[in-house]
Amino acid sequence: MGYQCPLNSNPADYFMQLMSNQDQQILKIFIENYNKNLLPDTLLQIEESNKHLESSNLSLPQKMAKLSFAYEIGALLKRQILNLKRHRLLVKTRFIQVIINGIITGAIYWQLKRDNQNMQDSLQIAKCLYLLALGIFYQSMNPQVLSFTQERPVFLKEQSSQMYSTFPYFLSKLIPELFSCSMFAVLMSCIVYWMIGFARTAEQFFFFVLTFIITTNVGNVTGLLAGSIFKSASVAVPFASTFVLPLFLFGGVFKNRSTYPEWIGWIEYINPSFYSFNALAENEFQNTTFQYNPIQIYHLNFGKWNSILMLIVLYFAFAIIAYLCLRRHCQKLQ
């Protein structure tokens, strides 16, 4: 047709550039050349193919091949890991954010006083634990809301094309984040625990780290839930922030079970920060000689291991709801 692909250019890109040209003269040249050079051979190939199908009684397959669950999740996990490698700046930014937040928090609450007879000292330690539980929750929730709302349209498009199933994709989102969130939680714990000067026993330190790990993963899956419900980040982020507000009110510090009205007190039991604070406070103040013990003042008698168990239950509950929301969106598209 007289067109020459420029040197060092991709022939396919050059071809698409020509095809998307709206110049009527060029379009006329395309049509004339197609009718003259391609149409006769194309019609002949179609006719021969039809004769071959009729003579051999062959039929086209009516169903798509189904990939195994292991293959799907393996391929999707590989893609998630590649995404993390390609977006190293985001990982580094989050890493630096955790370090900076940990250092600032540790500097503000540097070596808190532990006078057993001073009410202000014991309540100051308790409020510090409460803010740490809220902070680590929100710190893992917010990035997930933003990232998943951007990725979700791609997932819905691929899933509607039956490239893979919803469940393997959902697991491929949870598994890498399980490790990354846990890593950031351990880093944050190591910074704030010794700077603030909490109880210096190995058992209490490792329980503190465990609580941080589970809390940050609950925050991550909460972000996934917000991204699964709403289509855009402009809606999902305000929803997530609105969800965090009751965490402050029903976490057990400003009000507690002894002062809640009966009709609204149930919110406390679906509040991750309540269980995180309960676990951290009991870990810090149980078997101590503080005269003004926050466990009694704030009625934190749920049990630290019971609190850990409830955090795990909430993790799976939020994950199941997020998965069902994704399934619902996929069914609407189909």
> Would you say residue 319 has pLDDT above 90?
yes
The secondary structure of 43-70 as a DSSP string is HHHHHHHHHHHHHHT-----SPPPPPHH
In our burial notation (b when 16+ CB lie closer than 10 A, e otherwise), range 85-103 reads eeeeeeeeebeeebeebbe
pLDDT-derived band at 155 (thresholds 50, 70, 90) equals confident
Distance of alpha carbon 90 from alpha carbon 84, whole angstroms: 8
**Which amino acid makes up residue 286?**
Q
pLDDT-derived band at 263 (thresholds 50, 70, 90) equals confident
Q: How much is the average pLDDT of 287-309?
A: 83
Q: How much is the average pLDDT of 194-217?
A: 92
Give the percent of the chain with pLDDT over 90. 23
Return the sign of the alpha-carbon dihedral for residues 59, 60, 64, 65: positive
Most confident of the ranges 49-58, 59-68, 152-161: 152-161
> Would you say residue 216 has pLDDT above 90?
yes
Helix (H, G, I), strand (E, B) or coil at 264: coil
Q: Can you give the pLDDT at residue 302?
A: 82
Q: Can you give the pLDDT at residue 258?
A: 65
Q: How much is the average pLDDT of 141-164?
A: 82
Q: Can you give the pLDDT at residue 183?
A: 92
Most confident of the ranges 63-72, 80-89, 258-267: 80-89
Q: How much is the average pLDDT of 250-268?
A: 71
Answer left, alpha or beta for residue 32, where phi above 0 means left and psi between -120 and 50 means alpha: alpha
> Please, what's the largest Cα pairwise distance for the chain?
99
> Would you say residue 191 has pLDDT above 90?
yes
In our burial notation (b when 16+ CB lie closer than 10 A, e otherwise), range 208-223 reads bbbbbbbbbbbbbbbb
pLDDT-derived band at 331 (thresholds 50, 70, 90) equals low
> Would you say residue 50 has pLDDT above 90?
no
> Would you say residue 64 has pLDDT above 70?
no
Contact 233/327 with Cβ under 8 angstroms? no
